Amino acid sequence: MIDFRYHLVSLISVFLALAVGIVLGAGPLRESLGAQLAGQVEQLRSEQDDLRAQADDLRTQNDHLSGFITEIGPDLVAGTLEQNDVVVISDHNSTRQPVQNLSGLLEHAGARSITRITLQPALWDPGSEQRRTDALDAVAGIAPVLLDRDLDASEQLPDMIITLLTQDSSSEVTPGLRAQVWQVLIDNQLVTIDGDAPPRASAVVYAAAEPAQLTVASDDDPTAADRAQQLLTVQTRLLTALADSGTPSVLSVATPDNDGTVGILRSVRGDSTFADLSTTDRLQASDGPVLAVLALIEQLRGGAGDYGTTADADARVPNLPEAAVIRDEMEEPSGDATGGPSDGGGAE
């Protein structure tokens, strides 16, 4: 049996160890550890200040470049899109001002016609299925050739919109019949069109809002998930149909906070299905419409790429002769610090 003396010795050892620890902690070890911790804190503070200064510098340089692109944009694109009928598709009122700026640039570029089509929420709203069904039934009665029965119902309408815009006129679908189908879509509040029914498009720009703008605050979780899935289905089918049509096309997306990791931009970039399309971010920024038009010019010349300042962009601007002055500006003494994709994207 362990006697009391063993317990006493054990307790004395514990208290001695505690006393030694207190003495050392209050003496030489305290000073050493304190100095090390203070040094590490100071080093971290210095690194944080350096990073903040670098971020501020990149933001300033990127703002300067954005202002420069915006200012010279109309001169860069002047006369580059003559004899082209351009259609601009948008999906939310938040893109109204960028789309207006985009339309103005297309006019400077000499586009023969500019048609603006706005997709309405009924195309993806979970509660608007009856409108979509009514529209499909009406189209089936007047122009069944426009419907692809191999597609799900949620994909048929966006597919048909692109068919109306890009398919050559045929004896089966006359201009008058196309106008009737457009009217069906308008009457069922699926699209709105600025002006008359659009002609066959030479090129298309899809101006997409940031995903947060397309949510509905009153949705419960299942409805919100359904809405998001329906929206992605519509957007994906629309862009797939554009890619299949071979029509020069650009997806230009609003990317607040320089985030390209959500929404349709994330789905398109890096997917070989859309390799022949071009994408641009920064639609909400002053230079966003310029990037979109430059990308469209490149598309009409047979090129494609992903442009802007998010991390997955190929370059800040397309490699066009018209954009040489921008690239020269980017290569000024500050070098690559313009906030371009090579350093992970610039701040806005």
What are the phi and psi torsion angles at 151 (to 5°)?
-95, 155
Least trusted range by pLDDT, from 27-36, 155-164, 250-259: 27-36
Least trusted range by pLDDT, from 15-19, 44-48, 62-66, 124-128: 15-19
Please tell me the predicted confidence (pLDDT) of residue 131: 96
pLDDT band at 23 (very low <50, low <70, confident <90, very high): low
Question: Greater confidence, 231 or 60?
Answer: 231
Judged against a pLDDT cut of 60, whether residue 195 lies above it is answered with yes
Judged against a pLDDT cut of 50, whether residue 346 lies above it is answered with no
Judged against a pLDDT cut of 50, whether residue 338 lies above it is answered with no
Judged against a pLDDT cut of 60, whether residue 279 lies above it is answered with yes
The total of other beta-carbon atoms located within 10 Å of residue 324's CB is: 12
DSSP string, 235-277: HHHHHHHHHHHT--EEEEE--GGG--SSHHHHHHTT-GGGTTS
> What residue type is 112 in one-letter code?
R
pLDDT band at 342 (very low <50, low <70, confident <90, very high): very low
> Is the separation of the CB atoms in 285 and 59 below 8 Å?
no
Q: What is the pLDDT of residues 130-181, one digit of tens each?
A: 999 999 999 999 999 999 989 988 899 999 999 999 987 666 788 888 999 9
> Is the separation of the CB atoms in 307 and 314 below 8 Å?
yes
Give me the mean pLDDT over the 317-323 stretch. Answer: 94
> What residue type is 205 in one-letter code?
V
Q: In whole numbers, what is the pLDDT of the chain averaged over residues?
A: 87
Structure tokens at 150: 């191999």
Please tell me the predicted confidence (pLDDT) of residue 7: 64
Q: What is the DSSP letter of 169?
A: P
Please tell me the predicted confidence (pLDDT) of residue 165: 94
Q: Look at the pTM and tell me if it is higher than 0.85.
A: no
Please tell me the predicted confidence (pLDDT) of residue 11: 73
Give me the mean pLDDT over the 77-89 stretch. Answer: 96
